[in-house]
Amino acid sequence: MPILKSKNKGKARVSSLSESSEPSETSPLLGQPSLSTHDPITHSSHTFRLILNTLAVIFLSLLLSFILFIVLLGASFRPSKNELSSLPHTAFTYSSPETIQVLNITESGVLVNITVRCGIDADKALGIISSSDLESKIEARERGDKGGGADWWEDLRRWTAHRLLQDINIININSPSDILLLSRQPHSPALFSISLPRPIEVPLVIGVKKDTPMKEWTKEVTVLAIARPIASTGELWDYVQSSWETGVARVTIGVEKVQVGLPQDGTWWGKWVKGDKEDLVLEVDIPIPQIPGLPWPGKPLNLSSLVNLKEYSLDTSPSALQIHGTASIPNLVPSLNATIPFNLPFSISLPHHNSSLETIMATVITSPIHLPSNTSDEITLHISGLISPFLAPLPSPNTTIPSPLSLFLQRYLHGLPNPIIVRGLSSLPTITSHPSPPAWLLNSLPALRLPLSFPGPQPPPKVIQSVAIENMRLSESGGKMRASGTVIAIIELPPGMEKVLLEVHQVKPDVLIFDGPAPDELSSPLISVSSKNNHVIFTDVSSPQDDTRWINRFEEKEEDYPEGAFGYIHPDQYLDATSEQSDGKVTVRAPLDNVELVILPGRDKQLSDFVGKVVFKGGALAGIKGDAAVQVRMHGVVGTVSLEKLPVKGETWVGRQKGRRRKTEV
């Protein structure tokens, strides 16, 4: 019966389930949900996820909007290409250098320390314009620049920039490559190559108000740089003159790469702000200030005319003729503080008459130069060197053209300036105890050519201090009057030439003879007398630059001759002479043997009166006035130096009386 028992048990269980599942009066019409559908835990989890998704979408939307806003706000500070090109002229402000100190001069260049006032206006650099500045906003809108937006937007940009930059006051600027400084003048070469041993710290200033004076918001900045000239000294000299004529030094700064960054100790984010700019070209105009003693900037400037030779001296050494001198030039950069510890070599040349040729008169070197800043308006140069020994021609019967040295001394002794040409040399002519200049400096000097003027002394020196014709005798031969005697002249060298050793070996008088003392001033400025085609012809020694101009002034008219003059002495050939030198004075003696005394037309009566005094009164005073030419040998100079038209005025006694004082003066 176990089997039956088991079957009944299963059926009973099924019946019970069936009965319980049948609907009743209390059963809900829709039935009960299953356990999985109506679980409260599952329902709460679904709701939470729905809220999280909604919040995530809202947060992401806000985050994206904020990021987009920040990006737009940050992009609003980035200048456009047009603004970037104008920023150096608008946001960056600078002054002329206040001090320039030369620290060292080496083969690498000139190490300089420059102090200048400068600054970057952060508001202008970022395009921030105050809402109250309506005029600037309108101009910005017309140009398409930043700063012309709505007031709330511009206020937000200004507030953000000021908050970010309130702890930043400098910007570091560095150039790993050399900086080229070029002239903007046509056909001008590059001027300098500049390298920066350390970055430049440029002040960054926020909140600069409009029309604020530059000195009130800029700061002093020290720039350490190594400058090396690319242009030659002559090209730099020409650039200074042309810039002065325009009143502005216009240069272009070219940089291959510029690195800009913020100081790392300013803000936590400063180290991440860096930028590079390649192939940067910046045009800079530097106004030239007025310098005392120079023409106003904007007017032509001839620097050569400003070189002033203050003093000089010549000295005879055992082997050569030495020259020492002092010259001055205007200090074009009063703020410059520099020391040039070495000698600079130059040559001084004399231009040939009516020719483009030059003859080197001397090679000189300058002494080391010290230039203290803001203490002097001029720079003093001390020079010393040697006179070239080959300035005078050797004696030759065919030599008619005077040597350059003869023309130079001729004009100098008459108080007239001489044109000279100063050129730089590529090597030192002598060994000195000072350091040698850098090779780049010596290589650039030969391009320097300065046409200068060597001033003559004022008043002109009295070279022939006294002259007399000792034992003068008059005789007649062949219908002509003859004069004999010994010409004695005392020559005194002008200041600066007292120590020059010389020998006078020939003289040639060219003088008028008067009955009585010669007048101080002639009725005509002409003194030098000669003869040509039987006419009396005078040369104007008051203008010895007209060396070749002969003027027939008298036309044989008696009234045109100087009062009291009755004849003149002018030998055709030089008279041999001897000389002795002592204490800067040279005594010259030259025999005068039967030299023709030409009687002036219409002056026979004056001659008769003079001869009558000699014959019947035992003697007469004869005045002498005119000039003389001398041939000189100078120690240290090969050849002969000719000096002409040296003024002479004096008197001598003619007759039997002895012991009377014979005296002349220039």
Joined together, the tokens standing for residue 51 give 């809220």
Q: Which regions of the chain are under pLDDT 70?
A: 1-43, 74-77, 79-86, 129-149, 264-272, 373-375, 392-401, 431, 521-560, 657-666
pLDDT at residue 224 in the model: 94
Torsion of Cα atoms, 614 then 620 then 624 then 629, to 10°: 50
pLDDT at residue 142 in the model: 63
Contact 540, 501 (CB under 8 A): no
Q: For residue 71, what is the enclosing H or E element?
A: helix 40-75
How many Cα atoms occupy the beta-carbon half-sphere of 178 within 13 Å? 15
Backbone angles phi, psi at 16, to 5 degrees: -60, -40
d(CA 151, CA 138): 12
Only one residue has tokens 């003149």, namely 568
Backbone angles phi, psi at 169, to 5 degrees: -125, 0
Joined together, the tokens standing for residue 293 give 């003693």
Q: In terms of C-beta distances under 8 Å and separation of at least 24 residues, what long-range contacts does 392-395 make, across chains too?
A: 392/634, 392/637, 392/638, 392/639, 392/640, 392/641, 393/639, 393/640, 394/638, 394/639, 394/640, 395/639, 395/640
pLDDT at residue 454 in the model: 86
- What is the CA angle 298-300-301, rounded to 5? 110
CA distances from 225 to 99, 177, 287 (A): 14, 13, 21
CA distances from 545 to 159, 317, 413, 531, 598 (A): 79, 32, 12, 20, 27
Contact 645, 414 (CB under 8 A): yes
Kindly list the domain boundaries of the chain, sorted by start residue.
74-287, 303-454, 464-664
Strands (DSSP E) contained in 439-564 are 449-454, 464-477, 480-492, 502-515, 528-532, 535-539
Residues 6+ apart with CB under 8 A from 106: 438
pLDDT at residue 8 in the model: 47
Helices (H) and strands (E) in the chain, counts: 11, 31
pLDDT at residue 530 in the model: 40
